[in-house]
């Protein structure tokens, strides 16, 4: 879609639509033509959760003609603190179906296209190619790099947003006009450095603010506005109530959008982001039942919990020691290497990274990763334990 092409034949608006969008149409910068462009547009949301919620609702209210949603997850009660598109009655329902219900409840004129699947390097190009704009509503680095690369290869603009705890950021990446995500972040941070919302927490209203900024840029782009967030990164601190803007520029050496790109197809993003590694298969695992037997038999073991302090306060194993992941490397000397050391986290992901860090830092004792983390302990051993 050429957002400024005046030769494109735009769809007509019905009387009902004119009435519905009248407060838009009377704006000088929108008008009848802008509203018709909104009706003609197709926007894809990769993720139907925290960021996807406000984007979907405001795009639907604004009159975007087609909204696609890619998500494979189900609505969980823990989502409701921030994912405002979902309701209590839809807990357990596919997020795509729950979101579709809410969108059509706001605007029955919208064509909602659902993809009940995980976006992968195998399906991303096929899913994205039919949409005009993509909104990044993901919460992990492999997905972010995947979405960015697919948009660059397909020459699609990408409305970017990310959130963590009290901080968020937003931009509009469009390799045809400026920088892409890789220009700003050539490589991901070390695994475990930036946990997901489920692991690190997020201030409930933050995704509403960042998601609205993404929706704002999408609508402006569709109607032909010039003052967009291209080559600008907007940072927001909800706790200090402070916005900061950083100027960006296209990296001519960017491996995907630079002058001599080396990335010409989608890659293995789990490997690129360090979530799959050659040495992960060497990590030894222990089940919660095996750990329970060790505890019941009074075996001498170390139990190291690498979650954040606030998580540790919610639920913990007796006699476990809290060493947050970012402190593991400097705590090698504090751990007795003469007995087995069981390392745990919420779901068994961060603890793998912790074991790799301990091994690289010279720890010589036996390290065991608690498979599926403390959630498995709550599910299979102690049903009274608080889950979060």
Apex 79 CA angle, 288 and 344, nearest 5: 25
168: enclosing H helix or E strand: strand 167-173
Q: Which of 151, 183, 197, 254 is catalytic?
A: 197
HSE-CB for 342 with a 13 A CA cutoff? 25
Q: What is the C-alpha to C-alpha distance for residues 316 and 305, in angstroms, rounded to an integer?
A: 8
Cβ-contact 131, 258 below 8 angstroms: no
CA-nearest of 112, 132, 136 to 47 is 136
137 close to 51: Cβ distance less than 8 angstroms:
yes
Cα radius of gyration (the chain): 23
Active site (annotated) includes residue 345: yes
In which residue are the tokens 């919302």 written?
197
Catalytic residue among 137, 151, 257, 345: 345
Residues in Cβ contact with 376 at an 8 Å cutoff, skipping those fewer than 6 apart: 287, 288, 348, 370
The whole-angstrom separation of Cα 93 and Cα 98 is: 6
Nearest to residue 37, comparing CAs of 50, 49, 24? 24
Using DSSP's 3-state secondary structure scheme, residue 285 falls into strand
257 is catalytic: no
Distance (Å, whole) CA 121 – CA 266: 6
DSSP 228: -
Q: Which residues form the catalytic set?
A: 197, 345
């Amino acid at each position: 879609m050429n957002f400024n092409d005046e030769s494109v034949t735009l769809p007509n608006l019905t009387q009902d639509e004119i009435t519905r969008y009248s407060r838009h149409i009377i704006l000088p910068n929108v008008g009848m033509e802008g509203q018709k462009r909104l009706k003609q547009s197709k926007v894809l949301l990769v993720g139907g959760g925290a960021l996807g919620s406000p984007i979907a609702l405001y795009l639907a209210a604004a009159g975007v003609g087609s909204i696609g949603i890619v998500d494979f997850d189900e609505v969980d009660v823990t989502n409701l603190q921030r994912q405002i598109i979902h309701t209590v009655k839809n807990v357990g329902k596919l997020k795509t179906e729950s979101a579709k219900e809410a969108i059509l409840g706001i605007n029955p004129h919208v064509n909602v296209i659902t993809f009940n699947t995980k976006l992968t390097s195998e399906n991303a190009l096929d899913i994205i190619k039919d949409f005009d704009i993509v909104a990044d509503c993901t919460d992990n680095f492999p997905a972010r790099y995947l979405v960015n690369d697919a948009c660059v290869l397909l020459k699609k603009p990408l409305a970017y947003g990310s959130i963590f705890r009290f901080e968020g950021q937003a931009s509009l990446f469009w390799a045809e006009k400026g920088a892409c995500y890789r220009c700003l972040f050539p490589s991901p941070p070390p695994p475990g450095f930036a946990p997901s919302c489920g692991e690190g927490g997020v201030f409930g209203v933050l995704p509403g603010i960042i998601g609205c900024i993404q929706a704002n840029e999408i609508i402006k782009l569709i109607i032909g506005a010039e003052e967009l967030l291209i080559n600008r990164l907007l940072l927001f601190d909800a706790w200090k109530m402070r916005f900061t803007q950083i100027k960006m520029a296209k990296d001519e050496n960017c491996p995907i959008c630079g002058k001599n790109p080396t990335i010409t197809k989608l890659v293995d993003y789990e490997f690129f982001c360090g979530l799959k590694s050659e040495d992960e298969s060497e990590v030894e695992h222990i089940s919660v039942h095996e750990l329970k037997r060790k505890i019941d038999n009074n075996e001498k073991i170390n139990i190291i919990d690498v979650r954040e302090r606030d998580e540790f306060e919610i639920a913990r194993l007796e006699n476990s020691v809290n060493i947050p992941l970012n402190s593991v490397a400097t705590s090698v000397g504090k751990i007795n290497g003469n007995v087995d050391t069981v390392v745990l986290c919420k779901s068994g992901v961060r603890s793998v990274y912790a074991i790799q860090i301990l091994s690289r830092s010279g720890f010589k004792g036996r390290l065991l990763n608690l498979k599926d983390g403390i959630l498995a302990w709550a599910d299979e051993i102690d049903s009274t334990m608080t889950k979060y």
